[in-house]
């Protein structure tokens, strides 16, 4: 079994992820019920490994982007 890379648990790494989430939120132009810090914290608490953490973060960012792409459709209807 491979040893776990603890670097994903550092505050510096987590801050870089928070910045990426925040950037996705700002680019989307969509209001969110939670801020990027809260979103990252939730993902961090759920994740057991770095791979799982990064997977959750990727899905979160894709979800935010998808919401922004659906926005024009909602405004049109």
Give the mean pLDDT of 27-51: 93
Measured CA to CA, the distance from residue 52 to residue 44 in angstroms comes to 9
Q: Report the residue count for the chain.
A: 77
Grade residue 33 by pLDDT with cuts at 50, 70 and 90: confident
46-77 confidence digits (pLDDT tens): 999 999 999 999 999 999 888 777 655 545 44
Measured CA to CA, the distance from residue 42 to residue 46 in angstroms comes to 6
Q: Which domains does the chain have, with CATH numbers?
A: 15-76 (1.10.246.20)
Question: b/e per residue, 43-64, with b = 16+ CB within 10 A?
Answer: bbeebeeeeebeebbeebbeeb
pLDDT of residue 68: 74
Measured CA to CA, the distance from residue 57 to residue 49 in angstroms comes to 12
**Which position has the higher pLDDT, 74 or 18?**
18
Percentage of the chain modeled with pLDDT above 90: 65
């Amino acid at each position: 079994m491979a040893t776990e890379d603890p670097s994903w648990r550092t505050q510096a790494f987590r801050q870089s992820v928070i910045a990426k989430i925040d950037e996705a939120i700002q680019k989307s132009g969509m209001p969110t019920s939670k801020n990027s810090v809260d979103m990252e914290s939730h993902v961090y608490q759920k994740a057991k490994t770095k791979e799982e953490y990064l997977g959750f973060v990727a899905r979160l960012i894709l979800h935010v982007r998808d919401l922004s792409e659906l926005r024009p459709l909602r405004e049109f209807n």
